[in-house]
Amino acid sequence: MTSYSKNPDAIAALTDEQFWVTQESGTERPGSGRLLNNKEPGIYVDVVSGEPLFASSDKYESGCGWPSFTKPIEPAHVAELQDTTHGMVRTEVRSTHGDSHLGHVFTDGPADQGGLRYCINSASLRFIHRTDMQDEGYGAYLDQVEDVT
């Protein structure tokens, strides 16, 4: 079993935007994230801890300006907290082990897939292509990612 934790070396290697988003609960500008239009098969992991968060097979185009997912690949790795900033009541999502701010979850997702929309900052994620998952230690999740070969 892989152990995931807040990694000081990973934090030190973050870009300014990644640090602001993950460590200071920032939000990247809508439409600006490098993973917004990624349609490759693979998984999305926490940029700080490496814990698996979302599968490409659960990613969809919501039109909100951020990568959107219907559910976490590993629910225990995504913590939900009440967020009352900016005069709103929302549900913030953070990685459980890395404690990285990921984004928010809303109840306006596809009804036929559970009705949730995990609206996630690209800056909080590292994408691992399906062809690299085994080598990078994520082989256990291969059956949850579509094979396009």
Q: Write the CATH number for 41.
A: 2.170.150.20
1 in a domain, yes or no? no
Q: Is residue 46 part of a domain?
A: yes
In a domain, 2, yes or no: no
Which pLDDT value is given to residue 140? 95
pLDDT at 49: 95
- Mean pLDDT, consecutive 10-residue stretches, the chain (149 aa), reads 79 96 96 96 97 97 96 96 79 96 96 96 98 96 82
Residue 60, in any domain of the structure: yes
Q: Is residue 3 part of a domain?
A: no
What's the pLDDT score for residue 148? 64
45 is in which domain, residue-wise? 8-144
Query: Tokens 């082989």 belong to which residue?
Result: 139
Q: Is residue 132 part of a domain?
A: yes
Bridge partner residues of 126 (DSSP): 45
pTM of the model: 0.93
Give the per-residue pLDDT at 2.
Answer: 67
The pLDDT, as a whole number, for residue 149 is 53
Would you say residue 149 lies in a domain? no
- Find the helix or strand (DSSP H, E) in which 120 lies: strand 117-120
Tally of domains within the chain: 1
* Rounded-to-integer distance, Cα 140 and Cα 91, Å: 29
Is the separation of the CB atoms in 4 and 46 below 8 Å? Answer: yes
- Answer yes or no: is 55 within a domain: yes
Q: List, by residue number, the catalytic residues.
A: 119
As beta bridge partners, residue 103 has 93, 120
Which residues, 6 or more positions from 88, have their beta carbon under 8 angstroms from its beta carbon?
Answer: none
